[in-house]
């Protein structure tokens, strides 16, 4: 038997390493060698700046190519000396994946200075990794003062004006001086007097008004300025400031009348204003016929001052032949130049061949509307009524009305009032109807009926349910007399009402009052009795009257019922009624 060979001993370290290497090489396939540990990538890190001693939180966004869990994830801070001032509130045992994870730390404050900030994480095996650094600057923000508005932008030579500066600051500070500066073309200082001193300016803003001063004609540079507490002066952005004579602009606000009757004298009336005061050598109302002949109203005022507020001048009276004319205001300046203001049509209708009479004895026709021409703003206001709580619409008294001037038109010698459902919602939540109304209130004539007058209209009653036509009066929140009210759901009934000294009659006649038919209705406003007439026949006397000093404006309109007492109109329909004339006898 042979003796075993002696073993040559390996050093322990060599022996162990070789053994491990041999095992790895022989037992593990090459493809199964472990990959490097996943690494964390920093997407973003904020903030980059902060205010001294003001708590701030950090926000770190990270991701990883593959999901793995970190023992700690946080945000580190190092000052210039390398001292650790990390943000509190790091995450522990946090999984990081390709979709990313966001850490918002707790807050902490820092003294003024510059810091290195970085994200960091610790692997589960204990290894620490710092992510890319960035700078965190902790400092007071610079003061930014902004001029929001600076006026005036123009002025007239020799006319004192006031400077006004509106400004705000990024943070509150106290300005030693605040003012408005002006420099001429040569750079001379022409500042407005009277700026503010020791005035606090904050982010909410401040307005500074200076004293007044005048300037010679020219173009200037104007700017706001302030002085800080250390004595430094700061100019805000400049803007041009132009001093020049402003052109005179004269505006005709109204010229009247816009219609007349042939052979009946009428008076011209011009309301105008100017951009600045001037004295007109002559002010008048001109008229030209189709051939261009001059038919001006006589009696034009002379040497009349016109300023920025409305001025009204009245001419003498004259009559015109039937026809269509051009009418306009005009003025002559002090240098002798003539200036015509914008034209408007002036229609003169043929005189009536017959003078209608009232069923009330001893009355003469004093006012009339025959609706044989476009509705005149001299006689009628189609836009508003003080009888309506909101002026142009009215949710009260079972009404759906919203006044639309376009809903009153003239056709074939009659005024046609129409109504359609609106897209406007009344304060009570109901949908309004756009409808027509005319009143003598707020007109150039301001015509009012008074005690003793007889007013009459001829109307075609509506057919559509929900319609509510009426002729009535109104003045100073009352003085209401209803010549008639009508509802098609009561097709042969007229409501005749005195609201001054309460009295009422529901008058019924199915041979006279019908939907779609014409009927004449008149009212005598007696001091002791208001009397109603239908087709010239007295049908009701209330023996209450209006008293000796009553007066009121006329209103003719089409209201719409909300459905409370009478059916409301059907959506999608047009409701209408018509009037042939309105006449007043006295």
Q: pLDDT: is 36 or 371 the higher one?
A: 371
415 and 375 Cβ atoms separated by less than 8 Å: yes
The answer, yes or no, to whether residue 540 has pLDDT greater than 90, is yes
Give the sign of the dihedral formed by CA 383, CA 386, CA 392, CA 395.
negative
Residue 251 host element (H or E): strand 250-256
For position 22, what pLDDT does the model report? 38
The answer, yes or no, to whether residue 16 has pLDDT greater than 50, is no
Q: 36-50, 209-223, 289-303, 308-322: which range is least confident on average? A: 36-50
Q: Rounded mean pLDDT of 241-265?
A: 90
> Exposed/middle/buried for 45, CB within 10 Å: 0-12, 13-18, 19+?
buried
Distances (CA, A) of 109 to 53, 58, 61, 132, 138: 5, 11, 21, 22, 9
Q: And the tokens for 418?
A: 């129409």
Q: 14-23, 127-136, 221-230, 333-342: which range is least confident on average? A: 14-23
For position 33, what pLDDT does the model report? 44
Furthest CA-CA distance within the chain: 171
For position 353, what pLDDT does the model report? 58
For position 1, what pLDDT does the model report? 36
3-state SS class at 403? strand
15 half-sphere exposure, CB direction, 13 A CA radius: 6
- Placement of tokens 């009344």 in the chain: 426
Q: And the tokens for 397?
A: 């008294």
289-301 in b/e form (b: 16+ CB < 10 A) is: beeeeeebbeebe
Q: Rounded mean pLDDT of 299-314?
A: 93
The answer, yes or no, to whether residue 424 has pLDDT greater than 90, is yes
The band of 17, judged by pLDDT with boundaries at 50, 70 and 90, is very low
Q: Rounded mean pLDDT of 152-180?
A: 95
For position 500, what pLDDT does the model report? 96
- Placement of tokens 């509190």 in the chain: 88
The answer, yes or no, to whether residue 488 has pLDDT greater than 70, is yes
The answer, yes or no, to whether residue 34 has pLDDT greater than 50, is no
313 and 329 Cβ atoms separated by less than 8 Å: no
Q: Rounded mean pLDDT of 7-32?
A: 38
For position 39, what pLDDT does the model report? 83
Asked, as a colleague might, if the bond just before 459 is cis with ω within 30 of 0, I would say: no
Q: Of 494, 458, 474, whose CA–CA distance to 555 is shortest?
A: 474
Q: Rounded mean pLDDT of 303-308?
A: 94
Tell me, letter by letter, the H, E, C secondary structure of 263-328: CCCEEEEEEEEECCCEEEEEEEEEEECCCCCECCCCCCCEEEEECCCCEEEEEEEECCCCEEEEEE
Q: Distance between CA atoms of 322 and 259, rounded to whole angstroms?
A: 10
Which residues are registered as beta bridge partners of 571?
none
387-414 in b/e form (b: 16+ CB < 10 A) is: bbeeebbbbeeebbbbbbbebbbeeeeb
Q: And the tokens for 350?
A: 């043929």
Mean pLDDT of the chain: 90
The answer, yes or no, to whether residue 350 has pLDDT greater than 90, is no
Distances (CA, A) of 78 to 82, 84, 110, 452: 5, 5, 11, 100
The band of 87, judged by pLDDT with boundaries at 50, 70 and 90, is very high
215 and 240 Cβ atoms separated by less than 8 Å: no
The answer, yes or no, to whether residue 107 has pLDDT greater than 70, is yes
Q: And the tokens for 555?
A: 């209103």
DSSP string over 133-181: EEEEEE-PPPP-EEEEEEE-SEE-TT--EEEEEEEEESS-EEEEEEEEE
The answer, yes or no, to whether residue 32 has pLDDT greater than 50, is no
435 half-sphere exposure, CB direction, 13 A CA radius: 31
Q: Rounded mean pLDDT of 283-294?
A: 94
Q: Distance between CA atoms of 415 and 257, rounded to whole angstroms?
A: 20
Name 479's Cβ contacts closer than 8 Å, sequence gap at least 6.
Answer: 473, 500, 546, 550, 551, 552
For position 354, what pLDDT does the model report? 63
Reported pTM: 0.50
Q: Rounded mean pLDDT of 360-378?
A: 89
pLDDT in tens, 45-59: 999 999 999 999 999
The answer, yes or no, to whether residue 475 has pLDDT greater than 90, is yes
Name 319's Cβ contacts closer than 8 Å, sequence gap at least 6.
Answer: 260, 262, 263, 264, 265, 266
Q: Rounded mean pLDDT of 555-563?
A: 95
The answer, yes or no, to whether residue 14 has pLDDT greater than 60, is no
The band of 351, judged by pLDDT with boundaries at 50, 70 and 90, is confident
The answer, yes or no, to whether residue 4 has pLDDT greater than 50, is no
Q: Rounded mean pLDDT of 154-177?
A: 95
The answer, yes or no, to whether residue 201 has pLDDT greater than 80, is yes
The answer, yes or no, to whether residue 30 has pLDDT greater than 60, is no
Q: Rounded mean pLDDT of 221-250?
A: 95
For position 356, what pLDDT does the model report? 82
For position 262, what pLDDT does the model report? 85
For position 403, what pLDDT does the model report? 95
Q: Of 489, 484, 497, 392, whose CA–CA distance to 439 is shortest?
A: 392
Asked, as a colleague might, if the bond just before 396 is cis with ω within 30 of 0, I would say: no
The answer, yes or no, to whether residue 83 has pLDDT greater than 80, is yes
The band of 472, judged by pLDDT with boundaries at 50, 70 and 90, is very high
Distances (CA, A) of 315 to 189, 190, 302: 53, 49, 11
For position 352, what pLDDT does the model report? 65
Q: Rounded mean pLDDT of 278-302?
A: 94
399 and 562 Cβ atoms separated by less than 8 Å: yes
């Amino acid at each position: 038997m042979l003796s075993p060979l002696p073993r040559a001993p390996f050093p322990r370290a060599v022996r162990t390493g070789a053994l491990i290497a041999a095992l790895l090489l022989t037992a593990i396939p090459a493809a199964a060698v472990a990959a490097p540990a996943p690494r964390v990538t920093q997407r973003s890190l904020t903030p980059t700046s902060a205010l001294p001693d003001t708590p701030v939180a950090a926000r770190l966004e990270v991701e990883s190519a593959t999901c793995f869990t970190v023992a700690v994830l946080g945000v580190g801070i190092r000052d210039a000396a390398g001292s650790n001032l990390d943000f509190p509130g790091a995450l522990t045992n946090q999984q990081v994946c390709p979709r990313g994870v966001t850490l918002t730390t707790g807050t902490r404050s820092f003294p003024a200075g510059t810091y290195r900030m970085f994200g960091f994480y610790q692997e589960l095996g204990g290894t620490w990794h710092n992510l890319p650094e960035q700078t965190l600057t902790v400092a007071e923000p610079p003061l930014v003062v902004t001029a929001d508005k600076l006026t005036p932008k123009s002025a007239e030579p020799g006319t004192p004006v006031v400077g006004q500066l509106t400004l705000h600051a990024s943070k509150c500070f106290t300005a030693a001086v605040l003012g408005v500066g002006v420099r001429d073309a040569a750079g001379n200082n022409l500042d407005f007097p009277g700026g503010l001193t020791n005035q606090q300016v904050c982010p909410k803003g401040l307005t500074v008004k200076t004293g007044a001063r005048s300037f010679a004609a020219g173009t200037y540079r104007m700017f706001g300025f302030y002085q800080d507490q250390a004595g430094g002066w700061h100019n805000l952005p400049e803007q041009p400031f132009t001093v020049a004579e402003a052109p005179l602009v004269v505006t005709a606000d109204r010229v009247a009348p816009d219609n007349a009757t042939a052979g009946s004298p009428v008076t011209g009336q011009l309301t105008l204003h100017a951009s600045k005061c001037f004295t007109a050598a002559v002010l008048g109302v001109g008229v030209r016929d189709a051939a261009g002949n001059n038919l001006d109203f006589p009696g034009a005022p002379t040497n009349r001052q016109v300023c920025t507020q409305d001025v009204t001048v009245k001419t003498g009276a004259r009559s015109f032949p039937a026809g269509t004319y051009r009418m306009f205001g005009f003025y002559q300046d002090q240098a002798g130049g003539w200036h015509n203001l914008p034209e408007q049509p002036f229609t003169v209708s043929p005189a009536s061949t017959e003078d209608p009479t009232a069923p009330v004895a001893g009355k003469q026709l004093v006012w009339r509307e025959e609706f044989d021409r476009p509705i005149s703003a001299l006689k009628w206001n189609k836009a508003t009524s003080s009888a309506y709580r909101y002026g142009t619409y009215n949710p009260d008294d079972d009404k759906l009305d919203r006044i639309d001037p376009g809903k009153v038109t003239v056709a074939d010698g009659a005024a046609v009032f129409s109504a359609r459902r609106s897209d406007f919602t009344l304060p009570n939540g109901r949908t309004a109807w756009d409808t027509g109304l005319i009143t003598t209130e707020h007109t150039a004539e301001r015509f009012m009926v008074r005690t003793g007058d007889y007013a009459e209209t001829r109307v075609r009653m509506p057919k559509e349910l929900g319609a509510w036509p009426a002729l009535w009066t109104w003045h100073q929140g009352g003085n209401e007399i209803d010549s008639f009210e009508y509802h098609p759901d009561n097709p042969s009934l007229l409501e005749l009402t005195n609201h001054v000294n309460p009295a009422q009659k529901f008058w019924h006649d199915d041979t006279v009052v019908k939907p779609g038919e014409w009927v004449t209705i008149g009212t005598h406003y007696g001091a002791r009795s208001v009397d109603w007439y239908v087709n010239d026949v007295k049908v009701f006397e209330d023996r209450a009257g209006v008293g000796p000093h009553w007066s009121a404006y006329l209103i003719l309109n089409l209201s719409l019922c909300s459905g409370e007492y009478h059916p409301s109109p059907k959506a999608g329909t047009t409701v209408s009624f018509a009037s042939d004339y309105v006449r007043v006898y006295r």
